[in-house]
Structure 1
């Protein structure tokens, strides 16, 4: 690596196998933003498998965020700031790394590859909540990845490869294997992590034979098991074609822009019910030959996994500032939580013991956590509120609006330290989970308890509720 000078904010060039990349160094942190890892998915490459980007013939300017697949946000107001960046080079990634000391040019750091959420329909890798500066401070190279969303990433169309969004992620992970060493990262110590749809993508990749060897550890925050057999996706695509006035085919959708399709997807999803995930990973191809839960019994047993959920996800209380308050009273919410019948339980928390059970024979181990700190703004431990704590970025834009003016810094220190330790290869300090009643878990920020506590039975109500459903069937 070569720097221009020792100023506070300077240009820095990395000579990688992908070509020379010019980023910025601010103090002890280097940022290389919006690096294309694949050709632009436009023209004949739209609705096609991603193709590796040619080597940059000239230094690539990586001083600003790259274009995003998201053109239209999924909601008018989102908890996470999710900027849409225009442009066609949407298959890009950003690297935030420790700035090496002169004597440390050959020191390799573990790598965290972050996959953003957004229901596989939206979301932005350019969110300030995903800045990797705290990881860089703690000796971790942080990579955030953009991938195709919605129709372009997950529509089931004749003549189009399935799971294009997952294929994008696989190519990005391959890029990391080839190039991250130039940025100070160790390709043999890669942790793939994500939240919500990103966490679900992590579980899908962990279950996929196509991802073998591309990462060594995995973290799923509020991930869930959201793979499908294509029936719902085909029905949704047919209705979407009617809405935009084209046949539900590759040629038909190719005649509409990404923005037109994303606007139509948001409108149709709202019409059908905003709680559905109409497009996402599809089972039955070379990427996901079997459902994710089944794939987890066969693959990834050499990959340690950390997973969990927030306490309330989409079932928060009726705080005055909450734009989407729960229709249930506090007493009703408590009863539903105890029974394991909330959306939070059926979509997110139920996945935790189910995944642990599927990996019961995995030598590498599975560890559970539950993030319980209630945001005073959102009226509970809502979906996404844990991200600034795990990233240790409580000062990031939008945090005060979501977390209130005084989120606990001690909680951020603890959660971030646990995640950094896992990325560095250390085994978590609590017992492994097997998916059965009384499984151990790490609890973060439960009201009335210590900031962190190792406990058992956190997911038991969900296990019981799922068992009752299975028995009824």
Structure 2
């Protein structure tokens, strides 16, 4: 063991937990919040984990729901860890307790992305050491993915992955005080599918009271009517059953391992050129009674929301799974961006004003941002490249490969400070959004722009242009 690392035991309502203290940061990794979803519990609602009688060894990351990555090469390092205890969470906290004279720390609960099919809470990009440095406790959560988490099957509760997240939030509410956290100051945050899950839980009556602030990074809406959502998902699982030679039922899919199911889902998705989210939360149940957009008009109005997207998302000159230079010229890429018809605009950026419009009457407020720093490796402000800046972990493994050798540290400082301030309860320093043309957004990292200056322009992903100081420029 490193001489600078020591064991630290925290006594929680869930039982004693033994983590590791390194310098001024405590880490408690892979703490199960639910029983393993195996056997009769595999396609069932999550069951709260029994109390630990002996200190739980939280010195290493727990098992992940992901068995197969979404792509051979992904922007974010996303380790797959074997094991049955996939419903676990990790806590990274300042190595100072409120008993030492400090007030309880605010908490940010992080939901990873991966299209509801993949992703890993054990990524080094999600390490909360910079949050701990700034007086925030970070919690990363694992939840069921793919068929096990989101396939609509007969005699199976819907939206099992969301039910996992709700149970994890309940665990945080009951146990985080033992780590020095304030259960009354919880920010729910996520990126990509994790950001979409944040919006879903913000719109859900089941999420009421479990978190007090919300952050959505590059998350979209999966609207549509309940029957249409479920019909599309059922059509996909029927084809999946044919591929695997089993009926698309609880018993049929239960006869296949999670790894085999995930391999088959990714292969079928590629063959069908399927929706980017072939398996995802569906509406029309007790968790999401109505569409997310409709739910946001009536729920979560007391929860401040920060949301935004990157400038290029999946429309860069290159992508991690195919890093070759784009076949399109810079002029063609710029024209597509200005047209507002890219995947970036239709799936990600368009969600921002729609959400703001749904929350127009929210007393808590909605604030938009736009991440515009172009990675020299990926050829634009690509999906996921904002994460090391928001987490302020530019030295994490995989960052150089995605962002190049010298990503701007001052941009990470500014973005992380804005996020930490929001988590601490401070209102962002720019005007609230209401979902109308001309809504301002914090603009991060556009070449030539001040790093923390408020944009005076239009955040309109559909139109795809921004007016800056009276001059219209392509986004």
Q: Same fold (TM over 0.5)?
A: yes
Q: Which residue does 1:82 correspond to in 2?
A: 78
| Counterpart Cα distance in 1 of 2:283 and 2:319 | 39
| Counterpart Cα distance in 1 of 2:321 and 2:197 | 31
Q: Which residue does 2:172 correspond to in 1?
A: 176
Q: Which residue does 2:473 correspond to in 1?
A: none
- 1:5-44 CA deviation, whole Å, 9 max, x = no partner? x962000000000000000000000000000000000000
After superposition, the Cα gap between the structure-2 partners of 1:23 and 1:319, relative to the gap in structure 1 and judged at 3 Å, is closer
Q: Which residue does 2:242 correspond to in 1?
A: 242
Aligned ranges for residues 92-171 of structure 1 at < 5 Å?
A: 92-100=88-96, 104=100, 107-171=103-167
After superposition, the Cα gap between the structure-2 partners of 1:403 and 1:458, relative to the gap in structure 1 and judged at 3 Å, is farther
Q: Which residue does 2:447 correspond to in 1?
A: 447
Q: Is the 8 A contact 1:302 1:363 kept in 2?
A: yes
* Aligned-partner SS, 1:94: strand
| Counterpart Cα distance in 2 of 1:78 and 1:201 | 21
Aligned ranges for residues 231-380 of structure 1 at < 5 Å?
A: 231-273=231-273, 276-318=276-318, 323=323, 325-380=325-380
| Counterpart Cα distance in 2 of 1:270 and 1:324 | 20
The structure 2 residue matched to 1:218, chosen from 206, 214, 218, is 214
The offset of 1:332, in angstroms, is: 1.5
Q: Which residue does 2:394 correspond to in 1?
A: 394
The offset of 1:106, in angstroms, is: 6.0
The offset of 1:276, in angstroms, is: 2.2
Q: Which residue does 1:418 correspond to in 2?
A: 418
The offset of 1:339, in angstroms, is: 1.7
The structure 2 residue matched to 1:197, chosen from 193, 198, 208, is 193
Q: Is the 8 A contact 1:319 1:376 kept in 2?
A: no
Gaps of 5+ in 1: 1-5, 466-473
Q: Is the 8 A contact 1:309 1:369 kept in 2?
A: yes
Q: Which residue does 2:58 correspond to in 1?
A: 62
Q: Which residue does 2:472 correspond to in 1?
A: none
Are residue 71 (structure 1) and residue 67 (structure 2) matched? yes
After superposition, the Cα gap between the structure-2 partners of 1:30 and 1:267, relative to the gap in structure 1 and judged at 3 Å, is same
The TM-score normalised by the length of structure 2 is: 0.94
Q: Is the 8 A contact 2:75 2:384 kept in 1?
A: yes
Q: Which residue does 2:470 correspond to in 1?
A: none
Q: Which residue does 1:42 correspond to in 2?
A: 38
After superposition, the Cα gap between the structure-2 partners of 1:325 and 1:48, relative to the gap in structure 1 and judged at 3 Å, is farther
| Counterpart Cα distance in 2 of 1:16 and 1:320 | 41
| Counterpart Cα distance in 2 of 1:255 and 1:227 | 32
Q: Which residue does 1:468 correspond to in 2?
A: none
The offset of 1:67, in angstroms, is: 0.1
| Counterpart Cα distance in 2 of 1:298 and 1:274 | 32
The offset of 1:231, in angstroms, is: 1.5
* Aligned-partner SS, 1:172: helix
Q: Which residue does 2:407 correspond to in 1?
A: 407
- 1:317-371 CA deviation, whole Å, 9 max, x = no partner? 2599962654432112211211211110000000000000000000000000000
Q: Is the 8 A contact 2:124 2:396 kept in 1?
A: yes
| Counterpart Cα distance in 2 of 1:397 and 1:107 | 33
The offset of 1:103, in angstroms, is: 5.7
In the alignment of these two chains, the number of paired residues is 461
* Aligned-partner SS, 2:103: coil
| Counterpart Cα distance in 2 of 1:399 and 1:318 | 16
* Aligned-partner SS, 1:124: coil
The TM-score normalised by the length of structure 1 is: 0.95
* Aligned-partner SS, 1:23: strand
Q: Is the 8 A contact 1:338 1:461 kept in 2?
A: no
Q: Is the 8 A contact 1:9 1:27 kept in 2?
A: yes
- 1:107-155 CA deviation, whole Å, 9 max, x = no partner? 3100000000000000000000000000000000000000000000000
| Counterpart Cα distance in 2 of 1:367 and 1:348 | 15
* Aligned-partner SS, 1:456: coil
- 1:45-92 CA deviation, whole Å, 9 max, x = no partner? 000000100101111000000000000011000000000000000000
Q: Is the 8 A contact 1:322 1:377 kept in 2?
A: no
| Counterpart Cα distance in 2 of 1:172 and 1:9 | 28
Q: Which residue does 1:470 correspond to in 2?
A: none
| Counterpart Cα distance in 2 of 1:248 and 1:324 | 38
| Counterpart Cα distance in 1 of 2:91 and 2:97 | 18
| Counterpart Cα distance in 1 of 2:69 and 2:7 | 33
| Counterpart Cα distance in 2 of 1:177 and 1:325 | 47
